[in-house]
A and B are shown apart, each in its own frame.
Chain A
Amino acid sequence: MKLEFDIASGDFSKAGRASSRIKKMLKQLQVDPKVIKRIVVAIYEAEVNVVAHSVGGKMLAEIDGTGITVVVQDNGPGIEDIEKAMQEGYSTATKAVRNMGFGAGMGLPNINRNTDEFTIESEVGEGTVLTFRNNF
């Protein structure tokens, strides 16, 4: 089963749309609530990252019999220093975004903590691709 979502830059009102849809679907499939709770955190954070930091992108979620794999791809600007970006508390978010309570430098660490597999690839000028998976 595949689900695809476009994620527009700067549109915080839509952040949570993909995670909410996927959560409903996993509930219907009677996936263990513990698994749902973790993957939903990761998906929401990934959505917010695309809205807050990129020029826009998309999310592809694939559910098979053994788990869920999510690929989040944006069209730039890319992350200069991935190691720094992965540090708890490090953020490049604007003041406006921080005032909303985002940009605390916890997004990527939250994704890492709530997934079974997680890879992040980024190229400045190209974009960023996150791939993560949780097993049922």
Chain B
Amino acid sequence: MTLTVTEEEVEMKVSELVEKFGLKVFSGESGLENEISGGYVSDLLSDVMGNAQEGQVWITLQTHQNVMAIASLKELAAVILVKGFEPEEDTLERSNEEGIPVLGTDKATFEMAGNLFITLT
């Protein structure tokens, strides 16, 4: 007998994540249909640069526009700012240009990352 196990992949779009967790959409609305491949959590930019993968959602408390430079270079799906942090003006502009949404939550990183992990696995 052969048993074929097909791994069920959870496919999710940024817009579904927004809805599920009541995230605030600051900018980059044109990227709300981006597909999410996973998540990455770090406030060290070089760590994200070196280790994040395409299509991941990046959870951070950094709010300046270099966040968007990295999100764009790494082709991330979206950025979630935690603990009620808000993006700076040039971060918003860059997010709109790149079509990579900047989202917000009042939750702390631990809780947000936990939610995302459970949702995607």
Query: Which residues from chain A sit less than 8 Å from chain B, CB to CB?
Result: 12-13, 15-16, 19-20, 23, 37, 40-41, 44-45, 48, 100-102, 104, 106-107, 109-110, 113-114
Count residues of B near A (Cβ-Cβ below 8 Å).
Answer: 19
Known: A48-B45, A100-B64, A101-B44. 16 other contacts (CB 8 A): A15-B66, A16-B66, A16-B70, A20-B69, A20-B72, A23-B73, A40-B73, A41-B73, A45-B46, A100-B62, A101-B60, A104-B44, A104-B45, A107-B46, A109-B50, A110-B46
Please measure, in the bound complex, the distance between the C-alpha atom of A123 and the C-alpha atom of B46, giving whole angstroms: 25
Residue ID in chain A nearest B48 by CB atoms: A101
Report which of A20, A106, A107, A110 forms a contact with B73, defined as CB distance below 8 A.
A20
Residue ID in chain A nearest B69 by CB atoms: A16
Whether the pair B50, A106 counts as a contact (CB closer than 8 A) is yes
Residue ID in chain B nearest A100 by CB atoms: B64
Please measure, in the bound complex, the distance between the C-alpha atom of A23 and the C-alpha atom of B69, giving whole angstroms: 12
Whether the pair B62, A41 counts as a contact (CB closer than 8 A) is no
Query: Which residues from chain B sit less than 8 Å from chain A, CB to CB?
Result: 43-47, 49-50, 54, 60, 62, 64-66, 69-70, 72-74, 90
Report which of A12, A16, A41, A106 forms a contact with B44, defined as CB distance below 8 A.
A106
Closest 10 CB pairs of A and B: A16-B69, A106-B46, A104-B44, A101-B45, A110-B50, A101-B62, A40-B73, A104-B46, A101-B43, A41-B49
